[in-house]
Amino acid sequence: MNHGPTTPFAQHLHAEKYRAPGESFDEAMNRIAAALTDGSREQFDELRTILRDQRFMPAGRIQAAVGAPKKVTPYNCFVSGTIADSFVDGKGSIMARATEAASTMRMGGGIGYDFSTLRPRGAKIRKLGSSSSGPISFMAIYDSICKCIASSGHRRGAQMGVLRVDHPDIEEFIHAKQNSDKLTGFNISIGITDDFMRSVENGDTFALTWRGEVYSEIDAAALWEKIMRSTWDYAEPGVLFIDAINDKNNLRYCETIAATNPCGEQPLPPYGACLLGSFNLTKYILHLRDGSHDGGGTMVAFDWEQFKADIKPVVRAMDRVIDIATYPLFEQEQEAHNKRRMGLGITGLANAGEALGYRYGSREFLDFEEMVLMYLRDLAYYASSDLAEELGSFPAFDADKFLDGPFAQDFPPILRVAIKENGLRNSHLISIAPTGTISLCADNVSSGIEPVFSKRLTRTVQTEDGPLEVELVDYGLATWGVEPTECLDVTAEEHLAVLLAAQRYTDSSVSKTCNVNPDMPWSEFKALYMDAWKGGAKGCTTFNPGGKRMGILKAAAPEGGSCEIDPTTGRSDCQ
């Protein structure tokens, strides 16, 4: 029986990205299952079946690294240690962190940074009797390193640069990527505070400060207008609601978060790292005729029992990655072992929901989404609690402080009791990541929680004989004949509703692009971000296909930087 990708494009892509030369898909899944189980034949068979059926797809780094002889990290994403306000002096200096970033990217890891710790442009450097050139100038150093890593034959680097909205250089940061040739190795996002959003609402002034010194008072609404205009035209900077990220963090009692991984679904502390993987919901669609999961007949149900049964072995396997992983830096290993983060998510949501008859973004679709994520959240935490009883809790675990957090307060009472009695193996378990490549490797299922962008797309494949254009047909249409709701037929309100439903059940964050219609009224576009903040989102990203970014993307081929943005869909691909 053939397992895994079935279309020639998906087969080619999976082999190219995740397998050794000559390694078959089944051999790769055997390799991963053997590495992520403890020698038990029952555990091996159970996990191998899940992987071979593509019911759960570990992120690409795990598929490429685990059990393989090549020395790369299975972690997709990291956040840098805190960058000290010093060019070369001390372990945490700008250049020291740049060296650590190089080590991280050489081993396949993407990395995020908070540049708010660096003094603004023009600030005095007393030791040198000179003035600072500001954080945006120093970002260029990291940008160059990222390009060098890629050009030397390593995996394309991915970086996220964050600056707080109250930093005096925020306006320069807003405009930093409104070009085709600067900071191309970065995605950039602004750390938006609740104080700033309230100032926008109330029409107040807002102080730009650094280390307690007020540099200027600005009109908050005017600055917000500049941020919104840049996101409309250039899809950057992204918006991170940094106070919500910290207030709702399971570990708010022992860490402060200032940055995220390159695609934003993983807010992480200094040296934080996270493992990613997604359940492929299309594989749980049942058919009337023969009860199969792979096409034919009339769709009647989602296989809830199989989905629920798969969660526990996946949690155990992903937890094992933490112990067998190669880490670029010792500090990253320490941080990972101390908190044992992972980020389990879903992909194929649009295909699965619409196969069941629920239009993307409809009330029925949202109910289905919430039920999937509620089961994933609850059963993942149950599994982690069971693992803690067997293997011990993560070292930073404090039951009372953990259960006092906003996310844990929504757990069912019986789960809270289990965590109190048995502990918890992992500090975080749920994350909704972009799944561009692994979704393509599953025969082009809808990516993450996104709608289908287009039922047919043309993509260029690089082959030994040169570039080849292939047509990609949406999985739901190709497999079941289900006409998808295409992306631009989804309203902004529906996009946001899907995002907020996911965030409710996600302990980390959600990577989702709200694709907006170029004819959308300006007031409605700005309201989308305000509603995201009020609704409890930890971040918001939009893409306007009529914006200026389209010309930049088409004119400048990616040069080994950031999460590559598809100029057709506007989506970034971090997996």
* Cα separations in angstroms, 37 against 115, 497, 507: 40, 38, 26
Check 249, 250, 261, 515 and give the catalytic one.
Answer: 261
CA separation for the pair 118, 84 (Å, rounded):
7
534 and 481 Cβ atoms separated by less than 8 Å: no
Burial 88-99 (b: 16+ CB within 10 A, else e): eeeebbbebbbe
Check 263, 274, 540, 574 and give the catalytic one.
Answer: 263
Whether 265 is catalytic? yes
Whether 351 is catalytic? no
Q: Which amino acid is at 143?
A: D
* Cα separations in angstroms, 4 against 201, 296, 463, 478: 50, 18, 21, 16
Of 329, 3, 409, the closest CA to residue 11 belongs to 3
Burial of 338: CB neighbours in 10 Å, binned 0-12, 13-18, 19+: middle
Check 100, 236, 255, 265 and give the catalytic one.
Answer: 265
Pairing of β 456-463 and β 285-287: unpaired
4 and 52 Cβ atoms separated by less than 8 Å: yes
How does DSSP assign 10-66, residue by residue? HHHHHHHHHS-TT--HHHHHHHHHHHTS-S-HHHHHHHHHHHHTTSEEE-HHHHHHT
Residue 560, token pair as written in the block: 């080994």
Grouping H, G, I as helix, E, B as strand and the rest as coil, residue 228 is: helix
497 and 353 Cβ atoms separated by less than 8 Å: no
525 and 492 Cβ atoms separated by less than 8 Å: yes
Strand partners, 541: 513
Burial of 481: CB neighbours in 10 Å, binned 0-12, 13-18, 19+: exposed
Whether 263 is catalytic? yes
Of 70, 109, 43, the closest CA to residue 390 belongs to 43
Q: DSSP class of residue 206?
A: E
346 and 373 Cβ atoms separated by less than 8 Å: yes
How does DSSP assign 127-188, residue by residue? TTTEE---HHHHHHHHHHHHHHHHHTTSPPP-EEEEEETTSTTHHHHHTTTSSSSSSTT-EE
Helix, strand, coil tally for the chain in percent (to 5) = 40, 20, 40
Residues marked active site are found at 261, 263, 265
